[in-house]
Structures are given as structure tokens and as C-alpha cells.
Amino acid sequence: MYPARTILRGENGWPLRLSTLSDAPERLRVRGELGPPAERRVAIVGSRQADPYGIELTRQLARDLTRAGVCIVSGGAEGVDAAAHRAALEAEGRTVAVLGTGVDVAYPAAHRALFDQILASGGALVSEYDDGAPGARWTFPRRNRIVSGICEAVVVVRAGEKSGALITADWARRQGTPVLAVPGDVREEGSAGPIALLRLGAKVAASASDVLEAIGMAGQLSLPVDLSGQGLSGDEATLFGVLGRVPRHADEVARAAGVAPAVALSTLLILELRGLCEQRAGHYFLRRR
């Protein structure tokens, strides 16, 4: 089921953007449907050990971009990659995993079911490596040029200073592909990569709208936002209930809600991404009007 096939450079079905790379692969092995040449694709990448804040942001970005008609591309790894693929599937969209192994190899092994879902939902597994090829230290960084090379933009969610996601962003810069970074708590390790990218000129990705604007699809995301906070649970519901119309510092909100400051800040940023609150300079938050 879903046998692999070879697409040579320049053949029908070859991603047109890949042909512009100076070191483009000569062929791709593909399982599933890579999609039409004109398909809009965005890569979402980040840490394999992403925190709950990073995973939730990834899921929200991937869901909203999928609903806007964008195909989500990532590397099939744990953490941010897997969250991006799964969110696209939940939104009933297409997603493509570019692998650092052969397309018939499930790596990590726990993602075999995820890869099957990608194929069953009309997506694809893609690799430049031979069938059966295992992953090696060099194959994953090398495949990242394909992740960025078939996309119109690369979004980095959470990444440490030496994260492989930064390699993808570096390839994107060389290729002239827009790079966006999701801001986070500057005290967290996962913010080091996005902060470094922002200093290099990456654009801020606070929501899917920022990404759509970067690829010329501004205004194509129209999702209703329930400002009542109904449906929230846990820390999100608690913190939303504490917020008012007057800006309050995140630490003050944390004390009022009885949660740790770090938890409060990460949760408030999630509420901001969902459009339920607004942030003012200096980590002051208030309910969105």
C-alpha cells in the first residue's frame, strides 16, 4: 500500500521551487501525493523537546494555516514536527513529511501510525535517500534544505541554540525563502533560537495571519473568535478569568490566579495567540475587546 516512486528533477510532479537550489537533489522518492505544483506550502519546524507552550502554538498555527488552504511541511520528527503534522490532519488538510531516512523507514518507530495517517489523508512522505536507508547524523541536517526548498516560508516555533530547526532556517535564508519565528519567554531555552533568528531579520509569527501575509495570502484567514472564553479549561480558564479590561503585569496575573509566573506567561501567550487577550509592552496583558 502506498508504494514508493521516483520523481527525477524536471519530471512531472517535481516541486518547481526545488529546481532553483544550487544543490538540488537529482531525484526524490515519494510515497503518497506530493501535491500540485501551485500548492501553497509552509514549513513549521522546531525542537524535538518542545514544551507545552511550543506544542500548543504549533498546533494552532498548523490548524489555522491548513484552514486557509496551506499544506503543512515538516520533518516527521518528535516534538514540533509531529505536532504540526497532527494538527494539519485534525484540520482535514494535507501535510508532507520530508524524511532523513528512506520513505519506507519509520523513524522514530513510534511515528509509524502518524506516517500512515499522513498517507491515508492524501499527504506524502518524501526523501532523497534510498529505500531502507537508516538515519545518520548527517542525513537529517542535509534533508532540511528540501524542507525549506519546497516551501514558501519557514516558521520556527521553539528551538535551542543548536537546534536542527536553525539549520532549516539557514537553508531558507540561502534560498531566499522567508523565515518567521514565534516569540516566547526570553528566559526559556526554547526561545534562544527564535530570538537569534529575529535578530537576523526574521519576521515575527504571532499568528497564522503573520505567516499568510509573508506569502502573499493576507486576509485569507477568517476564523470566528469566541471572546467569552467558553471552552477553556485548566490554567487557560483560570488565567482568562483573572484578566480584565485594564492591563496587568503577567506576575500580578499569576499571583491572582495562584499559578507559577512561568506557567502564567506561557499560558497568556497561548491566549494571545488564540485572540482572547492582548499584550502591552513589558508583559502586561488584558482581555481582548
* CATH number of the domain encompassing residue 154: 3.40.50.450
What one-character-per-residue DSSP string does 209-271 give?
Answer: HHHHHHTT-TT-------TT-TT--HHHHHHHHH--SS-EEHHHHHHHHTS-HHHHHHHHHHH
What are the pLDDT digits (tens) for 208-264? Answer: 999 999 999 986 665 555 667 777 888 999 999 999 888 889 999 999 999 999 999
Count of the separate structural domains present in the chain:
2
Verify that 243 and 180 share a domain, yes or no: no
Range of the domain at 270: 234-287
For 136, counting Cβ atoms within 10 Å of its Cβ (0-12 exposed, 13-18 middle, 19+ buried), the class is exposed
What are the pLDDT digits (tens) for 145-194? Answer: 999 999 999 999 999 888 889 999 999 999 999 999 998 877 888 899 99
Which residue among 179, 214, 249 closes a domain? 214
Verify that 167 and 276 share a domain, yes or no: no
- Partners of residue 155 on adjacent β-strands: 44, 180
- Partners of residue 262 on adjacent β-strands: none
Verify that 208 and 157 share a domain, yes or no: yes
Residue 255 lies in a domain: yes
For 69, counting Cβ atoms within 10 Å of its Cβ (0-12 exposed, 13-18 middle, 19+ buried), the class is middle
Verify that 178 and 98 share a domain, yes or no: yes
pTM of the model as a whole: 0.79
Considering only CA atoms, give the Rg of the chain.
19
Residue 148 lies in a domain: yes
